[in-house]
């Protein structure tokens, strides 16, 4: 009897041991999963805190340039009438949440204009200089001549706020400040919620401090420093410390609930009964399970790291794109004024010494524009946004174009500047014309720039091959100072220059990097040979196709084709740009009608749309920008054949031009305005207008014909 009981126990023992082991494993796995889940939630909490901080900095960074236009317009015009100031201020208050008032503070720190006056009467004629903190902010903004953000203040309307001062200078005269008053609770609530999903705010309680003073908090927020979930993220705005503090709500902690310990225990108990006779294999299965868990944990961490790195990279790329777009616009706008005026003066009669100085100024402006274009080209190549388009061209016309572009510059330096074509110069080639021209443009520009005496020569060799192919070889040879062997390995890197380039202080160090990248994109090759004191030779090879259709040689025409008189509506708010475009149009016989903002352009176009042949539309304007104005016009006049619209803008990125076309524009003229390109567009519009008039047929009913 005892033996039977012992035997029974021996039979039950493996199953009991298996069940016990499964229960222990269930508890361990439950704890492991629970701990991993908590770590994931804490990491997510940290990422979201940093994300909310970025929302705040991005929002105020986007608002400052727009608000600064009021001070900029004051500076440009030498003052702003009160009624215009009030109209602009109300526009910004309506469009930008969180602004409680916009004021003009005179040079003695007294508030003279307040918009809106209702609810803000106490601020009128207030002496801001009487309060030490505000006086320090005012003096800092005035002395640094840049917008300044104050520490948090108590608003007259109640609650916390911040003040932003935009100093106004007209020449050397200080005209006071444009003061913008933000209600931080309203502003930051909109900044955090704008474009985000609502569940983010169900998940967190949020508070924000500026310079250690709380200026925003969500309903129900309570400071809990002992809470293990309490997380902070720090950033800065205009030198002021911003701290975002968050902790999760019950809604956040309820996300992604895991299977309970009881469920896991029950499951392992069932499997324990099933596997009670397989103890030996259980050991192997346990080992395999642990290994899989380790691999899964590693993969989970790697995936999370990749996601975080990708987010940071995307954020950095977006910031760089915004910076380059802003830089392009801000530099091109004054350049448009400089180069536009110089183009207008080009045909005027002046003494020889004045003409030489004007030429020097124009070349300097073109050189600065080339630097801007190089930076933009570099950004496009980095982003993979350069499109390679192949087209028909001849090497002779390419060489002639490049020679004409640089001949004046070479003459000024008294350099011998020639080119020679070996092979069939008028053979039509099918290849990447624009990248080839851009590379040669950079190489020739460098050669002339860094050669003080002697010559610069371009050699082109057309080597026809079998199967309708050809190899092009271009050599740009100069007698300049040369490049050392050590530097020859570095000059094709971005922002790297030879000793000659650095000492000359000319160029950005991007031209050769762009040339190298463009050559690689079209599957070509570029190299340099040079000796110090003996000059430099840059050589480029590229394989192309011979065009199927061999056309007659292109005859060059020295006369400028002027379009027939057109009636043109120009939407432009900048006084200098208005003067330049008006002179360019009226001197060629065109009728010029001006609209100083997008809203005015819409009204004039819709009232007299069929009388205009073309609209030239600036993009960044007050009241209504160019894109919104174009969409409004297209709702009334959708036919682009009747009324074409061209963007007239300093924004030169391809994605921006695509946005203009999507809004209903037919093309883009970038600032600085190039008069030949403007004339080309006007000539195309004029020819199309004549063609439409010739093709217009008056339909006569057949019955009347019979009569």
- Identify how many contiguous H helices and E strands the chain contains and give both numbers: 20, 22
Q: Give residue for tokens 């039509």.
A: 428
**What are the pLDDT digits (tens) for 668-707?**
988 778 788 899 899 999 988 888 878 764 443 443 333 2
- Do strands 667-670 and 645-649 pair parallel, antiparallel, or not at all (unpaired)? parallel
The pLDDT-based confidence of 388 (bands split at 50, 70, 90) is confident
Where does the pLDDT of residue 320 fall: very low under 50, low under 70, confident under 90, or very high at 90 and above? low
Report residue 334 as tokens: 């004054």
Integer Cα distance of 593 and 600 in angstroms: 11
Query: Which pLDDT score is estimated for 706?
Result: 30
The rounded Cα 112 to chain-centroid distance in angstroms is: 38
Per DSSP (E only), the strands in 351-427 are 391-394, 416-422
Q: Is the pLDDT of residue 302 over 80?
A: no
**Of residues 328, 45, 407, 338, the one with CA closest to residue 200:** 45
Mean pLDDT score, 470-483: 92
Virtual torsion, Cα 677, 682, 684, 690, nearest 10 deg: -170
- Evaluate whether 109 touches 127 at the Cβ level (below 8 Å): yes
pLDDT: which is higher, 22 or 98: 98
Predicted local distance difference test score (pLDDT) of residue 70: 87
| CA 623 – CA 69 distance, rounded (Å) | 12
Q: What local confidence, expressed as pLDDT, does residue 553 receive? A: 61
Position 282 pLDDT exceeds 50: no
Mean pLDDT score of the chain, rounded to an integer? 78
Token pair for 385: 């946004």
Total residues found in the chain within this entry = 707
Share of the chain above pLDDT 90, in %: 21
pLDDT in the model for residue 705: 34
Backbone angles phi, psi at 62, to 5 degrees: -75, -30
Q: Confidence class of residue 123 from pLDDT cuts 50, 70 and 90?
A: confident
Q: pLDDT value at position 284?
A: 44
| pLDDT, tens only, 484-534 | 888 877 777 755 555 555 454 454 456 687 888 888 888 899 999 998 888
pLDDT at 478: 94
Give the 3-state secondary structure of residue 601.
helix
- 43 has pLDDT over 50: yes
User: Would you call 638 helix, strand, or coil by DSSP?
Assistant: coil
Residue 216 pLDDT level (bands cut at 50, 70, 90): confident
Angle at 582 between CA 580 and CA 588, to 5 degrees: 105
User: Is the bond into 282 cis (omega within 30 degrees of 0)?
Assistant: no
Q: What does pTM read for this prediction?
A: 0.41
State the average pLDDT over residues 273-292: 52
pLDDT of residue 615: 94
Long-range contacts of 293-300 (CB under 8 A, 24+ apart): 293/32, 297/36, 300/36
In which band, very low, low, confident or very high, does the pLDDT at 625 lie, cut at 50, 70 and 90? very high
Using 50, 70 and 90 to split pLDDT, how confident is the model at 373? low
């Amino acid at each position: 009897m005892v033996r039977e009981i012992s035997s029974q126990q021996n039979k039950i023992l493996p199953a009991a041991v298996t069940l016990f082991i499964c229960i222990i494993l269930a508890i361990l796995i439950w704890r492991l999963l629970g701990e991993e889940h908590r770590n994931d939630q804490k990491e997510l909490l940290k990422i979201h805190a940093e994300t909310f901080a970025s929302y705040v900095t991005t929002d105020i960074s986007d608002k400052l340039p727009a608000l600064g236009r009021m001070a900029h317009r004051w500076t440009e015009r030498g003052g702003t009438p009160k009624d215009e100031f009030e109209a602009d201020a109300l526009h910004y208050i309506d469009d930008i949440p969180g602004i409680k008032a916009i004021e003009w503070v005179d040079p003695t720190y007294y508030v003279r204009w307040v918009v809106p006056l209702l609810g803000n009467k106490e601020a009128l004629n207030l002496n801001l200089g009487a309060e030490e903190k505000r006086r320090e902010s005012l003096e800092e903004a005035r002395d640094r001549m840049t917008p300044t953000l104050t520490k948090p203040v108590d608003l007259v309307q109640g609650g916390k706020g911040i003040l932003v001062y935009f100093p106004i200078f007209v020449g050397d005269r200080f005209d006071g400040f444009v003061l913008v008053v933000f209600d931080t609770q309203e502003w930051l609530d909109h900044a955090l919620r704008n474009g985000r999903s609502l569940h983010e705010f169900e998940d967190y309680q949020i508070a924000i401090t500026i310079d250690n003073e709380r200026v925003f908090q969500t309903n129900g927020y309570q400071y809990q420093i002992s809470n293990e979930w309490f997380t902070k993220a720090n950033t800065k705005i205009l030198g002021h410390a911003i701290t975002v503090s968050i902790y999760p709500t019950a809604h956040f902690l309820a996300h992604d609930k895991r299977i309970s310990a009881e469920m896991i225990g029950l499951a392992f108990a069932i499997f324990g009964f099933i596997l009670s006779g397989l103890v030996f294999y259980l050991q192997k299965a346990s080992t395999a399970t642990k290994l899989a868990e380790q691999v899964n944990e590693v993969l989970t961490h790697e995936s999370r790291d990749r996601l975080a790195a990708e987010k940071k990279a995307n954020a950095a790329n977006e910031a760089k794109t915004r910076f380059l777009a802003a830089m392009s616009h801000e530099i091109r706008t004054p350049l448009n004024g400089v180069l536009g005026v110089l183009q207008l003066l080009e045909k005027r009669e002046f003494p020889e010494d004045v003409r030489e100085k004007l030429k020097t100024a124009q070349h300097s402006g073109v050189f600065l524009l080339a630097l801007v274009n190089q930076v933009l080209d570099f950004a496009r190549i980095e982003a993979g946004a350069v499109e390679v388009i192949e087209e028909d061209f001849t090497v002779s016309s390419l060489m002639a174009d490049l020679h004409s572009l640089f001949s004046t510059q070479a003459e000024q330096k008294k350099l011998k500047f020639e080119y020679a074509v070996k092979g069939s110069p008028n053979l039509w080639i099918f290849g990447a014309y624009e990248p080839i021209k851009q590379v040669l443009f950079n190489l020739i520009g460098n050669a002339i720039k860094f050669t003080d005496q002697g010559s610069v020569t371009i050699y082109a060799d057309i080597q026809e091959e079998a199967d309708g192919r050809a190899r092009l070889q271009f050599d740009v040879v100069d007698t300049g100072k040369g490049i050392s062997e050590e530097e020859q390995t570095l000059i094709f890197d971005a922002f790297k220059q030879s000793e000659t380039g650095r000492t000359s202080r000319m160029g950005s160090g991007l031209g050769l990097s762009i040339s190298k990248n463009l050559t690689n994109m079209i599957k070509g090759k570029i190299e340099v040979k040079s000796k110090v004191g003996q000059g430099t030779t840059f050589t480029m090879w590229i394989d192309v196709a011979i065009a199927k259709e061999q056309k007659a040689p292109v005859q060059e025409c020295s006369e400028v084709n002027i379009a027939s008189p057109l009636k043109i509506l120009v939407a432009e708010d900048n006084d200098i740009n208005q003067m330049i475009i008006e002179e360019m149009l009226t001197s060629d016989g065109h009728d010029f009608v001006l609209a100083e903002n997008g809203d005015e352009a819409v009204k004039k176009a819709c009232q007299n749309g069929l009388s205009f042949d073309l609209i030239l539309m600036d993009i960044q304007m007050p009241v209504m920008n160019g894109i919104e104005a174009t969409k409004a016009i297209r709702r009334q006049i959708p036919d682009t054949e009747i009324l074409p619209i061209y963007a007239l803008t300093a924004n030169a990125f391809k994605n921006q031009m695509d946005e203009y076309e999507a809004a209903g524009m037919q093309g883009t003229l970038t600032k600085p305005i190039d008069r030949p390109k403007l004339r080309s567009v006007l000539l195309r519009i004029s020819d199309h207008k004549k063609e439409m008039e010739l093709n217009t047929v008056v339909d006569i009913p057949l019955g009347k014909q019979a009569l």
